[in-house]
Amino acid sequence: MDSPCNNICMIDPPTGYCEGCGRNLDEIGEWASANGERKREILSILPQRLKLLNERKRQ
In a domain, 2, yes or no: no
The pLDDT tens digits for 21-58 are 999 999 999 999 999 999 999 999 999 999 999 998 88
User: Is 13 buried (19+), middle (13-18) or exposed (0-12) by CB count in 10 A?
Assistant: exposed
Mean pLDDT, range 14-27, rounded to an integer: 97
3-state secondary structure at position 51: helix
User: How many domains, the chain?
Assistant: 1
The answer to whether the beta carbons of residues 25 and 11 sit under 8 Å apart is: yes
In a domain, 23, yes or no: yes
pLDDT for position 59:
83
Rounded distance, CA 56 to CA 33, Å?
Answer: 31
In a domain, 1, yes or no: no
Model confidence, pTM? 0.92
Q: Could you give the residue ranges of the DSSP H alpha helices within 1-59?
A: 25-30, 36-58
pLDDT for position 36:
98
**Domain limits for position 43:** 11-58
